Amino acid sequence: MRHDWVTESGNPASTEIDSLSTLEIVRLINSEDAKIAAAVALEESNIAAAVALITEKLRDGGRLIYIGAGTSGRLGVLDASECPPTFNSDPRQVVGLIAGGSGALTRAIEGAEDDLSAAPRDLTAIDFSASDCLVGIATSGRTPYVIGGVCWARELGAKTIGLACNQDSELAKHVDVMITPIVGPEVISGSTRMKAGTATKLVLNILTTGAMVQLGKTYGNRMVDLRASNSKLIIRARRLVAFLSNVSEEAAEAILSQCSGEVKTAIVMQRLGVDATTARQQLSDANGHLRKVIG
């Protein structure tokens, strides 16, 4: 094992953690966690480049695919699974793959991350192509499953992004954009579900949120690209249309009933005084950006 992997090194601040009081343990972990946002901030330019790349692929009909093992894989699957309820995106648009398959989400699958050929098989199974964008997540930057996946994807001509928490990693040699938040040694040595995991979650949040915003999924900070399909969403949709169209909730409900519960369509109908067909066409002409239609 290399000795310069900061994610595997010992943390001087926690060498006597087992002798601390409960409150002292909490304060120690919290003080270490406070360093994470600053580490992510140092990678803002690389994250922005990744968001631009992902947005381009999604806009052209491609997909965003995450691959990872262990905690990294679970976080990729989590981020992918949260896109449809948040942004009304097609569940096939953002996909997470984890070494060892779905069973690895809840238990460790020994040896799954060490198979260089497994990721190409998994990617082939979902019809991965050069139109898609692959994000390889590997805290160490050396996970064979991830390395095998990004190398195979590049051979296909696909764009690749790497996310690791160690500098000068093997992963960095095989991707178009590399994101490397250096969060330092973990409170519990090698337990990368902690600071490295949190940094990974922060970056993934930005990747999908940034791309979805640029695809017109929001108006300001409001999630307007939704279809009222259950009781919670019906209430949210009604309130959004009422707020953004300056009408009562009763009026908003009536408008939504004319356009199959589509929030953006309803807002354009009310604000511009057009029917649903015209509203949909205007949104399509603006690539789904509500602001471009109503200002």
- Using the structure block, give the residue that is written with the tokens 């990693």: 169
CATH code of the domain made up of 6-214: 3.40.50.10490
Average pLDDT over residues 120-145: 97
**Predicted pLDDT of residue 2:** 47
Token pair listed for 175: 């991707």
Rounded (5°) CA angle 12-138-127: 170
Mean pLDDT, range 95-117, rounded to an integer: 89
Q: Per residue in 268-294, pLDDT tens?
A: 999 999 999 999 999 999 999 999 999
Higher pLDDT residue, 106 or 181?
Answer: 181
Average pLDDT estimate for 97-124: 90
Distance CA 102, CA 96 (A): 10
Question: What pTM was computed for the model?
Answer: 0.91
Note if 82 is an active site residue.
yes
Position 279 scores a pLDDT of: 97
Catalytically annotated residue among 32, 43, 113, 186: 113
Give me the pLDDT at residue 115, please.
85
6-214 and 218-294 share one CATH topology? no
In this prediction, residues 55-59 reach a mean pLDDT of 97
pLDDT at 1: 43
Statement: 218-294 belongs to CATH 1.10.8.1080: yes
The 3-state secondary structure of the chain reads CCCCCHHHCCCHHHCCHHHCCHHHHHHHHHHHHCCHHHHHHCCHHHHHHHHHHHHHHHHCCCCEEEEECHHHHHHHHHHHHHHHHHHCCCCCCEEEEECCCHHHHCCCCCCHHHCCCHHHHHHHHCCCCCCCEEEEECCCCCCHHHHHHHHHHHHHCCEEEEECCCCCCCHHHHCCEEECCCCCCCCCCCCCCCHHHHHHHHHHHHHHHHHHHHCCCEECCEECCCECCCHHHHHHHHHHHHHHHCCCHHHHHHHHHCCCCEHHHHHHHHHHCCCHHHHHHHHHHCCCCHHHHHC
Which one of the listed residues 8, 56, 82, 170 is annotated catalytic?
82
Provide the residue ranges of all domains of the chain, joining segments of one domain with +.
Answer: 6-214, 218-294
* pLDDT for residue 4: 66
> What pLDDT score does 232 carry?
85
